[in-house]
Homo-oligomer: A and B are copies of this chain.
Amino acid sequence: MIFVALIHFPVLNRKGEVINSAVTNLDMHDIARAARTYGVHGYYVATPLEDQQKLAADLAGHWLKGIGGEKNPDRKNALGIIRIVNDIEEVIQDIEAQTGRSPEIYATSAVKRGNCITWQAMRERVQSDGEQPFLILFGTASGLADEALAMADGVICPISGPSPYNHLSVRSAASITLDRLAGI
């Protein structure tokens, strides 16, 4: 069982400082649609800021309760997977309440770390135990801060292609991650 969380705090800015990033409409939509495609059990949008939580709820609500959902039921279906939460602790509690098990937590990063988990190992792990929840963390802005990485059981190796360029959007990175873990 895969769960994903899009983290808006604590994340880094381009200078490496810890910041709160802003919730964006397309991060919610694109990742919700990918999550539905790949059978993800929950997509958490995590921000501790009340105004950002309200913004996220309004953006989702347009499609869930408003005219958007009537016009586009596929989008309504996708956005229904989103849960807006304060932080990673709240994500863990919610997964425990839903599944009765503590999630194994894996962070994603565009920076290669020596002991990173390979994609093949990660896919095998996720596919080998259908009852175990796996929580994959994605950082907005310039990626997860150390305090967020420290909550993970491991960090997955960066997504890579033949070029050294490694600046995928978080929407692309999340989509590719789900395809690598659960694509057919």
Which A residues form the contact surface with B (CB < 8 A)? 14, 26, 29-30, 33-34, 36-39, 72, 74-75, 77-78, 159-163, 165-169, 171-172, 175-176, 178-180, 182-184
**Given the contacts A172-B30, A176-B183, A180-B179, A167 and B14 also touching, CB distance less than 8 Å:** no
When C-beta atoms are compared, the residue in chain B nearest to A160 turns out to be B184
When C-beta atoms are compared, the residue in chain B nearest to A166 turns out to be B37
Contact assessment for A167 and B37 in the assembled complex, using a CB-CB cutoff below 8 Å: yes
Contact assessment for B38 and A167 in the assembled complex, using a CB-CB cutoff below 8 Å: no
When C-beta atoms are compared, the residue in chain B nearest to A78 turns out to be B167
Least Cβ distance of A96 to chain B in Å? 23
- C-alpha gap A162/B123 in the complex (Å): 14
Q: Which residues of B contact A168 (CB under 8 A)?
A: 33-34, 37, 175
Least Cβ distance of A101 to chain B in Å? 20
10 closest cross-chain pairs (CB), A and B: A38-B161, A172-B175, A39-B162, A36-B165, A39-B163, A37-B161, A30-B169, A176-B179, A74-B167, A160-B184
Contact assessment for A162 and B182 in the assembled complex, using a CB-CB cutoff below 8 Å: yes
Q: Which of these, B29, B33, B161, B171, contacts A178 with CB under 8 Å? A: B161
- C-alpha gap A74/B78 in the complex (Å): 31
Q: Which residues of B contact A169 (CB under 8 A)?
A: 26, 29-30, 33-34, 171
Q: Which residues of B contact A78 (CB under 8 A)?
A: 165, 167
